[in-house]
């Protein structure tokens, strides 16, 4: 019995010691102590800076009520030489170009500082080897950490950041038929994962069609009669960033349809047949009845697929 009592008392001491240690650790991350660490930097870097340094406290990176929130040293390094002599640079300087007395670190060094926290996010699993990482972009090429509003994280302004590099997509987005990106209803990141992806073109899903189906669920099916180009890749017919042919079509029917359906459509009067019935020299006197109205969808209205038992030709 005495042995049992000793074991219980010993367990109680161990639990109490662990609790005290945990309490001490939590206290060390208190908001007041976190601000004390920052005060080493903010003594000099205050509201008189050209950049809004103190605006970081209006962002998630400055929320000291969260124990995960970094300090200045968490990102910029201990920077002991900089603290002892202002002529020495901090350990890590962020940015895409030199804007002050010191040049920014290499993109890899900047990203290492960011990924020390953010690599645990599952949306950044494919950053290494991704298109943006391979292009030697730094996180700060797109993100502005010390501003209260990061333009690339807000839907209405995200396009302005992406379009600084992606000029062709900017031009397409301003065409007559486009996804509502300029209007701010959707953002580039609704379809693309800029931090890397297992799919092509940094898409959020593994294929183009899966990505499109996240919004266009009515096209997903399953359908009794499927149109093969639709199931393969939506971009067989559509240009996702914009087109002057509605709805986002690569070209107008029947020319778009003719890219695959290049035969005479089983017509008694093929398109190239003239009034005399001889091939060549089409005069318009005897056009194919299947081309009347110049739109295949006049008849084949269910172009994405049909569930009607009689819809094998996508007509119903």
- Most confident segment among 31-40, 54-63, 286-295: 54-63
pLDDT in tens, 144-189: 999 999 999 999 999 999 999 999 999 999 999 999 999 999 999 9
Helix (H) or strand (E) holding 14: helix 2-28
The token duo for 270 is 């093929």
48 phi, psi to nearest 5 deg: -85, -5
pLDDT digits (tens, 9 = 90+) for 119-144: 888 889 899 999 999 999 999 999 99
Q: Provide CB contacts within 8 A for 297, sequence distance 6+.
A: 253, 303
Q: What pLDDT, in 10s, does the model give residues 290-310? A: 555 667 888 889 999 999 999
Q: Indicate the pTM of the whole model.
A: 0.78
How far is it, in rounded angstroms, from Cα 254 to Cα 295?
A: 6
Whether the CB-CB separation of 159 and 181 falls below 8 Å is answered with yes
């Amino acid at each position: 019995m005495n042995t049992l009592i000793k074991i219980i008392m010993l367990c109680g001491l161990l639990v109490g010691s662990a609790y005290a240690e945990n309490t001490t650790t939590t206290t060390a991350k208190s908001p007041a102590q976190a601000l004390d660490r920052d005060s080493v930097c903010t003594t000099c870097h205050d509201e008189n800076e050209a950049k809004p340094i103190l605006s970081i406290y209006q962002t998630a990176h400055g929320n000291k009520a969260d124990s995960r929130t970094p300090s200045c040293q968490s990102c910029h390094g201990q920077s002991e030489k900089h603290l002892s002599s202002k002529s020495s640079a901090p350990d890590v300087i962020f940015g895409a170009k030199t804007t002050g007395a010191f040049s920014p670190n290499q993109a890899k060094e900047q990203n290492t500082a960011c990924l020390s926290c953010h690599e645990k996010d599952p949306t950044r699993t494919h950053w290494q080897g991704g298109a943006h990482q391979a292009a030697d972009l730094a996180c700060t090429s797109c993100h502005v950490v010390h501003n209260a509003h990061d333009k690339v994280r807000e839907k209405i302004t995200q396009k302005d950041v992406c379009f600084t590099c992606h000029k062709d997509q900017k031009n397409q987005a301003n065409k007559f038929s486009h996804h509502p990106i300029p209007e701010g209803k959707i953002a580039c990141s609704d379809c693309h994962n800029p931090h890397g992806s297992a799919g092509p073109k940094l898409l959020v899903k593994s294929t183009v069609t899966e990505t499109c189906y996240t919004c266009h669920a009515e096209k997903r099916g399953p359908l009794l009669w499927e149109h093969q180009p639709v199931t393969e890749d939506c971009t067989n017919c559509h240009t996702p960033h914009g087109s002057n042919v509605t709805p986002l079509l690569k070209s107008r029917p029947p020319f778009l349809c003719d890219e695959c359906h290049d035969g005479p459509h089983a017509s008694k009067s093929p398109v190239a047949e003239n009034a005399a019935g001889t091939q060549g020299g089409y005069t318009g006197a005897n056009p194919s009845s299947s081309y009347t109205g110049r739109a295949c969808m006049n008849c084949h209205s269910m172009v994405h697929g049909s569930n009607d038992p009689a819809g094998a030709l996508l007509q119903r």
